[in-house]
A and B are shown apart, each in its own frame.
Chain A
Amino acid sequence: MGFWDRFLKIDRRWVFLVVWIAVVIPLLKPLGLPTHITPPVKKLYDYIDRMEGEDKAVFLSFDFDPSTMPELLPMGVAIIRHCFAKKIPIIVYGGLYPQFVGMAKMAIDMAKTDFPDIVYGKDYVFLGYVPGLSLVILSIGESIQGTFGNDYFGNRLDTLPLTMHVDNYEKIGIVVDLSGSSIPASWVAYAYQRYGCRIGCGTTAVSAAQYYPYLQTGQFVGMLGGLKGAAEYEELLERNGIPTGRRTATIGMDAQSVVHLLIILLIILGNIGYFYVRRRERRA
């Protein structure tokens, strides 16, 4: 048995070990690779940035659970920080499923540390879970107060300055949906098509490809695709002097770079071995 035969039959636990090393080393010793800004991220950033001083709020929906947290949570934190820094009112919604609410709460807690002057009820409001899935998206178009009644903490929405003023999509400048599933398409179908509300999207790298048609038609203002999208948003915040805290997405991109390179290397070596063995067998 030659080298390539043995290599192609290598125990997969060796591959797991190499992947683990490729993840851990850049996390412990970041490479500091530069972040290249892509147009979909820039468009979303600029759209939110232009809302400074406007009479409208950002509506940020957390439609993901901890499985996609490493990619999507940094996006949520970065967008909340952007709004807090620019004093753009923001309604943080805990998402269409009950297990998503914890993600939104985690993002708010992480983002507000650098903004002590932010006032709950005036600068931001946190909405919890109500049953109804995509019907909630339609119902928000009629009335936020009527749909939710109370915020996450039990305060009546008609007593909070922000939700007294912002009660449906008319006063919402943009809905940004963070999700690794098909939920952003529901926001387009119901909030954009029916009520004309602008939509932005943050999604996992694996789902990003399916949302490009929405970008081209303008149904999405912009999009953050995967950890890279989050890292680009963090980079834009930093370039504009907005506190970013610990740039978890940017740190993670180093590890992702090395792992992508490793997978490419494995594919190339796997193919070399495959063709070598095939040619030898044909000759024999």
Chain B
Amino acid sequence: MERFVSGNYDVIVVGAGHAGCEAALAPARMGHSTLLLSINLDSIAMMPCNPSIGGTGKGHLVRELDALGGQMGLNTDKSFIQSRMLNTAKGPAVHSLRAQADKELYHREMKKTLEQEPNLDIKQAEVIEILVEENQVKGVVIKTGGIYYAKTVILATGTYLGGKIFIGGVNYTSGPNGLAASLELTESLEKIGLSLRRFKTGTPARVHRGTLNFDKMIEQPGDERIVPFSFMSSNLEKEQVPCWLTYTNNETHEIIKKNIHRSAMYGGEIEGTGPRYCPSIEDKVVRFSDKQRHQLFVEPEGLDTEEMYVQGMSTSLPEDVQVEFYRSIPGLENAKIMRPAYAIEYDCIDPLQLDLTLESKNIDGLFSAGQFNGSSGYEEAAAQGLIAGINAALKIQGREPFILDRSEAYIGVLIDDLVTKGTNEPYRMMTSRSEYRLVLRQDNADSRLTEKGYEIGLVKEDRYQRFLNKKEAITKEMERLKETKVTPKQVNDMFERMDISTLKSGASLYELLKRPQIKYEDLKEIDINRPLLDIEILDRCEVEIKYEGYISKQLRQIDQFKKLEIKKLDSTIDYSKIEGIRLEARQKLGEIKPLSVGQASRISGVSPADISVLLIYLEQQRRKRSEKSE
């Protein structure tokens, strides 16, 4: 094949899924010439699985990404057709936003945003080779022979890389949703020294809305009050469409059991590791055989389509079995399948090969994000894409890398988990993965991160000003609540009505709000000078006041945590030479090359005693150096 030079960029992004879009927008917005390559431009920001963004833990990621100047939150606000805040019955730390998106609109809006970005070029092309010289990335080669040179390359290949679809006994090479797979790149990646493995995921069938009987299902409406994903959006009003709930039954389970040998998963054709939190329906029926029914949600794929997504019915059973078991489910008896469920296997890396910046440890300038790094989910992908994009740009600028730690953001937890602990299944974010979730709430993502986004240069003036105004309003209102005092006479009538213990002496509104039973709204009648404030400001004040005790407990834990995080480890340390550290720990440390003592302590196989020895070693080195300089 004849090769020719086609261009030269600061950053090239391979793949335009959720990771790729953020990875391309960030450096472009930070002033760098960027090229985004995708096998098919019609699949930019495609949602090949569920038609929703957010959920527990994932919603937090989107809010954080937005606070840093990412696109996913804004794009969801433009294209959602239903919005829900999950877990509202629980505490504020686990309130999680989730929106059903119109898939087509989501894709179109994202494509438009990319197209309008001045420093960004978008091109339909399949990358077949990564150019590397002396462990330094140089560019990429596309299938038609074009060479694009670049200072940095970000891989976000998703399920396209070595993609293989399984439906019952049938399997064939394919990317997601019938798109072309990327088959030549794997060999090039192996040649440059990356070690690859196979993961697996799957998606349920899409059925025709007109063939469903919604009378037999339970309606699941959206929330009345819509909370936007983006801190830049306010007062979103929109006609929302419902989702629907129905259940499998014994008959369904019998059909599945009878045909279990025809499942690709049980037949042993699939070698990749799938996620435990997304088991197929056959898996659920087999593993939880005492469960009489399993729920399924029927969700619209968009406003301009009749396709409906059947959440809960992911399967690798053959299509005829899929048709048969739908017949047994109330409301789906006559369902016509428009796209059958499938399982898909793909190539990805063990993320232990990456730094916390998502740059390869061995190849300078090569970054990666998303499913390629062993994660799962649109939000996890986008969050990594953003961080990889930011760090690619900072590297070119010769600036300090941008790393969020576990106490600052779910994004920090996500990346630290991946590159420090690794993962044996497609990694999904959950709130329980965070040690400090009372502090890492979705409502305060902006105050945690927007300042940082501004320093990097990704957050622009409009967002920053908006953030400063909000911050000031919160401080002012907190002050006012502390200063506004009430007497027992003013409140005790009301307290008796509410059946809560009365006041004996005067108290500030701030003190009253600390009581679990008293809500900000309840105090309205006695709080005469209350200013008219945005609901998000009120919510923030209330949360910070009411849970102050728990939050400060957690802040103290964070202080402890930080002490080891700020002790940095040089990447040139030869761990094999440190006597006293156990052999296993030496190997792990040498392999992962942690950036800080804190990160080192989270590596499995490194014990507290190893860390003590490491600290002493560090001090020895410091002394030797200072002796020399004297």
Same complex: no
Interface residues of B (CB under 8 A from A): none
